[in-house]
Copies of this chain bind each other. A is one copy, B any other.
Amino acid sequence: MIAPAAPAFVPLDPQFEQRVRGSFARQPFMATIGARLGTVEPGRVEVILPFAEGLTQQHGYFHGGSIGAIADSAGGYAAFTLFPADSSVVTVEYKVNIMSPGRGEQLIALGEVLKSGRTLTITRVDVFAEAQGKRTHCASGTQTLFCLAGRSDTRA
């Protein structure tokens, strides 16, 4: 297989799922593009993006910018599941390799924590395109996240 089994993470905050879903719902950009959360587990989050004409590039496929946006979001929230309750998550950097066109009924971005630290968390992000029940590995990358401890996500 491609990589060793993911470490089993124990979240610091038992309310992690509710905290992640609340934060996601407060992001107007995710509503603008029509993204929604799938699975939310310790260190592992899915973001789903159904196809819409308004998300495409000139050839009718998902725009690379929409692929990157949900990759960044899935990885960021995967990290956030393991953060303490009173904290915020900030993306330091991310990189994506786009391996095939974003073609199909929906994209699924999967973010998974590779290393969870007090200040920095490293995630792997993979994006899959689903067309007629078939999944294609569309993009892959890694991301670095910063934990702003004591800076609640709900504070403006």
Residue positions of A touching B, CB distance < 8 A: 1-6, 23, 26-33, 53-60, 63-66, 68-70, 72-73, 76, 88, 90-100, 112, 114-115, 119-120, 122, 124, 126, 137, 140-142, 144, 146, 153-156
Chain B residues near A65: list those with CB within 8 A.
Answer: 29, 33, 65-66, 68-70, 72-73
Chain B residues near A63: list those with CB within 8 A.
Answer: 27-30, 69
Chain B residues near A153: list those with CB within 8 A.
Answer: 58
Q: Specify which of B29, B32, B99, B122 is in contact with A99 (CB 8 Å cutoff).
A: B122
**Quick check: A124 and B72 within 8 Å, CB to CB?**
no
Chain B residues near A56: list those with CB within 8 A.
Answer: 27-29
Kindly report which residue of chain B lies nearest to residue A66, judged by CB atoms. Answer: B29
Kindly report which residue of chain B lies nearest to residue A112, judged by CB atoms. Answer: B2
CA distance A59 to B54 in the complex (A): 25
**Quick check: A142 and B55 within 8 Å, CB to CB?**
no
CA distance A3 to B144 in the complex (A): 18
CA distance A3 to B27 in the complex (A): 27
Q: How far is the CB of A86 from chain B (nearest CB, A)?
A: 14
Kindly report which residue of chain B lies nearest to residue A126, judged by CB atoms. Answer: B3
Q: How far is the CB of A66 from chain B (nearest CB, A)?
A: 6
Chain B residues near A154: list those with CB within 8 A.
Answer: 58
Q: How far is the CB of A28 from chain B (nearest CB, A)?
A: 5
